[in-house]
Amino acid sequence: MSGVGQLVPTRLLSEHGKRRGIKPTGWDSKGIDVSISGFRDEIKAITDQTRSYIDNHTASNADGANVYFMDNRNVLCFPRETGDSRYVFGDNGFNFWVHASGYMYANEGLFSTFMRRKEGDEPVIGFFTGIPVSGGRMPYRCFSLMPVPVLGESEEFVERRYTVLNPAAAYFFTEFNSLLSVVRVTVNQEKRIAFSVYIENKGDAAADIFNSSFFKPFCRYSIYESDEDRWFIETALTDGVSADGVYDSGKMEVSQDEDRFTSMTYYAVLRGKHSLDDGATFNRRLTNTSRHNLLGESRRNLSAALGLRTGEFAENRHVTTFTDIAVFNDINFFNLAPGAAVRTDYTFQSVSEKEEQESVAATAIIPAEIDKSVATSGSRISDILSSLSIQVSGIDESLEIKENDFNEFFRHLKYQVSVCGLLQGYMQLQLRSLIGIRDVFQALEGLLYYRPDASRAKMLEALGFTITDGRCLRQYSLPPKGAAAGRADCREFIDQGVWVISTIHTYLESTGDQSFLEAEIGYHEITDEATESIIPSAEKGTVLEHLFRIMDYLNRNRDHDTTKLVLALYGDWNDALDGLGITKDPEKEFGTGVSVMATLQFYQNCTEMIRILECFYPDQFNDKLEQYRTIRDEIAENLIEYAVYQDDLGNDRIYHGWGDNREYYVGGPCDPDGVARDGVTSYAFWALSGMLERTPEMEAHICSAFDRLQSKYGLMTFNPHFPKNTPGVGRIPKLPPGTAENGATYIHATLFAIMAYFRMGRAKEGWDEIQKVLPFTSIHDKYSHSPFVMPNSYVFNEEKGMDGESMNDWQTGSSNVLLKILLWHVYGYKPDFNGIRIQIADWTPFQEFKLETTTRKKTVRVSYRKAATASGAREFIINGTSPVQGERDSLLKTDCRFIPYDQLADVNEIEVVDPIDA
């Protein structure tokens, strides 16, 4: 191949074939490449929808984020001055992150296929086009087909950029110089990343253009890049193009030593193909594997690459390793008649064996298969999520929530919960970002309502990492191929097991799956606490036996000598406050510091285990039943004695916890820094755990605490914040005031309190707080992350210039708690062991809503509306029967209806009608 590329007039070859009566593969009866026409139709469907939002100003906009909810889970994103939106693609632990800004990166565990890039960095994936210019300093004006990198000299000619994200694919649109370009990005279930680049001539004259791709893969076990990595990475790519537009495949080889005795080689393949429209002609192709060869000078980066301005490379570099950064890079030249388009597809795939690399490299791309993969992925995700569908209409004007926003947001929320529940670690690309027990089980408690089988499998996987003494790891990871065990986080946070019990209880309520309790799984053993080394144990046991051991572990870790409450150990759910378990006794690892939240959760676990045993094993475990009842009563008595105190005005308040030997308290009248403080979680779980039923007088005191925790963006985790160097509380004072858990709206905790509002029958107060934490309402005008999924927090510190930004999005427990609030209380759908309970809150902002779901293989449709009722009260119409009234729930303060499972038909229509003034 020559340095200027091979001249292959593909279109002319195809015309020659047609004249001979040969019909080229992929062309229709009119001679138009179907891969072009099909993609054009897909693009048109999106642009038609987009145009109506832009031109008619009918979109619902998350102010400040330039993000619009469209139909069919499409999110329209315009460039933002600050922050970025993103979507995650992939399955089975493969995470491919695509940002609306154009940044993309991928990892599978610690294996980084493409290294992560942050704002301002040079992207590792880019697409460009060049247009000849006369009289300029350079022969081509180059445009980035993605928002990054920014090419300053051409950006003024760009008429519009926008990105459309949905669970199946991301689309990057650029309109410029009478051209329309679209870059579609998707991932299939085999972890193949596909990029489809479409450029159409919208002008009246023919256009000479080139398109160019840039890939800088990494394919090493590391989440950080070093100067030595280039020594062990090699890429090879040649200029060849077949008559059908198939490019020679690029090959990558990466060497990495695992230890002194083990060296691994990883492989990857980049394939490419162009498809031509009627009136489009391919002229030549250039390829390059050297980043420096593209840039031209060491002081340049991708945004100033000389090769993209000259339309040529300094030299032929078809193989690169060691002395330069190895990349895949090409420039392809076309002529487009008016209205004509070219489509160029690339697929990137990492493989583990040389033979597989050769096989993939020898297989030509079929664009129609990529299109089918996008459609299949969209349909698969729709099918998964459609088993729980909800549509609302007529939102109360007192709330700053728009109807379309809310409906579309709920679809993305379900997808977010699915991502969180089934993750396989390293979504945050940190060495300790493993699979958190508390994180996964909380997410699964929401996911199980619409993905019960996947939830079941994930619970079994996670339960298999229980230590033989009943201790649940804080985090685990799946072992690499050929290894006995993966990495683990063995820090002894006391709360891990409480989430396991609660989620399994909820799963059994919804499914009645006794076989789950009897499934046999393994345990693990900790071989070295210091190095957090674990190995699989030879012991096995049923799920029920695992639950017994978890309960025994929690019971052992109570302060049996004094308060009888659960010890904090390393910490509880609020892991930033990790100082309560510290002791001055050199003979002990932990002291007698207590977590009130974890104690309340264990109290709840006792009730849950009693219910599980009474339902599935009546009269078989009477000793366990008696034990759990005794523990529950003892905990309740001592919570009242030790966890509740009176302030100077005689009001009852609840401690967050205390240190060793009760030397100091947190969330009390005088914390270690000398001030009175409230913590939201102990109050919330007093209501959520069932303790409120024993102490109904505490409701007013809980609400008073919530009033003291009010803020612009929702209830704070603590108020006031912990100043620097506050003793006895752990690392939380190191967080700036008004951030994360330290005097800010940490949304996960806020939603615990919102659920408590609903559990106390205070739905209106709950909704006042919901609208603050929803990321797309007009309350928010500063966005740092994606406003179509739940973030984890909102910061507020005017002195330090922080007002509403978030720490993170996607992987956060706030998503599952919100989903459960909506399902259990707003839409009032709560499966029980013996039937379903319809318990719609006493106040709802909706005039109407429709819910459809499947429980125990029965389809249940609940429709709610406000209308006149004969009784003047809430009425229930079940499968067309005469209206009946519900039974008043004194705690929820709403009228409910219980329907036993044996009274459900295969398909059930349940109508709930509230009086108009409800």
Are 864 and 876 in contact, with CB atoms under 8 Å apart?
Answer: no
Residue 13's pLDDT is what? 30
pLDDT given for residue 239 in this prediction: 93
Please check whether residue 753 is in contact with residue 684, taking contact to mean a CB–CB distance below 8 angstroms.
yes
Average pLDDT for residues 566-578, to the nearest whole number? Answer: 97
Name the residue with higher pLDDT: 52 or 266. Answer: 266
Say yes or no to pLDDT of 21 above 80: no
How would you class 537 by CB atoms within 10 Å of its CB: exposed for 0-12, middle for 13-18, buried for 19 or more? middle
pLDDT at 482: 64
| Reported confidence tier of residue 385, pLDDT bands at 50, 70, 90 | confident
pLDDT at res. 15: 33
- Residues of the chain with pLDDT > 70: what percent? 95
Q: What is the pLDDT of residues 239-248, one digit of tens each?
A: 999 999 999 9
Q: 511 φ, ψ to 5°?
A: -110, -25
Burial of 460 (0-12, 13-18, 19+ CB in 10 A): middle
Q: Is the pLDDT of residue 386 over 90?
A: no
Is pLDDT at 815 greater than 50 in this prediction? Answer: yes
pLDDT value at 378 more than 70: yes
**Location of structure tokens 């998707």:** 186
Three-state DSSP at 174 gives strand
Tokens of 683: 């109050």
Closest CA relative to residue 565, chosen from 581, 578, 579: 581
Q: So what's the pLDDT on residue 33?
A: 63
Amino acid (1-letter code) at residue 195: F
pLDDT given for residue 874 in this prediction: 97
Q: Is the pLDDT reported for residue 110 higher than 50?
A: yes
> Does residue 30 surpass a pLDDT of 50?
no
What is the model's pLDDT at position 918?
60
Residues 716 and 892: their CA atoms lie apart, in Å, by: 24
72 has pLDDT over 90: no
pLDDT tens-place string over residues 878-893: 999 999 999 999 999 9
Predicted local confidence at residue 14, as pLDDT: 33
Find the mean pLDDT for residues 690-713: 98
Q: Give 569's DSSP letter.
A: B
Contact of 33 with 275, CB cutoff 8 Å: yes
| Upstream peptide bond of 536 is cis (omega within 30 degrees of 0) | no
Strands (E), 467-508: 475-476, 488-489
Considering the chain, what percentage of its residues have pLDDT values greater than 90? 82
Angstrom distances, CA of residue 161 to CA of 66, 80, 182, 498: 12, 11, 10, 48
> What's the whole-number mean pLDDT along residues 779-800?
93
In this prediction, residues 690-710 reach a mean pLDDT of 98
What confidence tier does 421 reach under pLDDT thresholds 50, 70, 90? very high
Q: Could you tell me which residue, 5 or 859, shows the higher pLDDT? A: 859
Q: What is the pLDDT of residue 12?
A: 29
Q: What does the alpha-carbon distance between residue 446 and residue 830 come to, in Å, rounded to a whole number?
A: 12
- At 151, which amino acid appears? L
pLDDT for 381: 85
How many residues make up the chain in this entry? Answer: 918
Query: In three state form, how does the secondary structure of 406-464 look?
Result: HHHHHHHHHHHHHHHHCCCCCCCCCCCCCEEHHHHHHHHHHHCCCCHHHHHHHHHHHHC
pTM of the model: 0.93
pLDDT value for 372: 93
Res 612: pLDDT:
98
pLDDT of residue 136: 77
- pLDDT for residue 56: 54
Is the model's pLDDT at 261 over the cut of 60?
yes
- The per-residue pLDDT for 18 is 31
pLDDT band of residue 479 (cuts 50, 70, 90) is: confident
Which residue would you say has higher pLDDT here, 437 or 20? 437
**CB neighbour list of residue 286: distance below 8 Å, 6 or more residues apart:** 3, 4, 5, 239, 312, 313, 330, 331, 332
Least confident of 174-178, 750-754, 767-771: 174-178
pLDDT above 90: residue 66: no
Regarding predicted confidence, which is higher, 216 or 64? 216
Residue 319 burial (CB count, 10 A)? 14
